[in-house]
Amino acid sequence: MKFLFFTLLIFTFCLAQTKRKVDKRIPQNQSEKTLTLYYNVISCTCAQWSEDTEKENKDYYYLEPSNDNLMKVDTLFDGEHLPVVVEVTGRVVLTKGYPKGFKPTKGADPGNVFRYTKIRVLQMERRKAAIK
């Protein structure tokens, strides 16, 4: 019986530690915000989504779905057709880093991560250009 109690106590402590780590990444009191983001073609595995396409000093974001049921935005760009524009609702992760499951290559700097709970594709071109 003591062993069972001790095991439950350790299990509860581990869950509490995990919860604290999540709370540090995104504070629960941070309200959700909605951003319209444009895909920027940059030849690296760095953050490639920004709110503005014209501004020189843009803030770039990595996008991370909050659950597996949401569309993965990194699959939208087909390598040829732009623009790709999405509207995402969620929260910015406090510390710069990488989205979950992201495997950075050498030279990919940690960046702003936006964890989205909703996503809507606003514009995505998939038309072939007419051959002249």
pTM over the 0.85 mark: no
Task: Point out the least confidently predicted range of 16-20, 28-32, 124-128.
Answer: 16-20
pLDDT of 7 > 80? The answer is no
- Residue 81 is predicted with a pLDDT of 84
- Residue 21 is predicted with a pLDDT of 44
Range of the domain at 79: 33-124
- Residue 129 falls within a domain, yes or no? no
* Average pLDDT of the segment spanning 76-104: 89
CA distance 101 to 98: 8
- Residue 12 falls within a domain, yes or no? no
pLDDT grade for 122, boundaries at 50, 70 and 90: very high
At 86, is the secondary structure helix, strand, or coil?
A: strand
pLDDT grade for 130, boundaries at 50, 70 and 90: very low
Structural domains counted in the chain: 1
- Residue 26 falls within a domain, yes or no? no
- Residue 120 falls within a domain, yes or no? yes
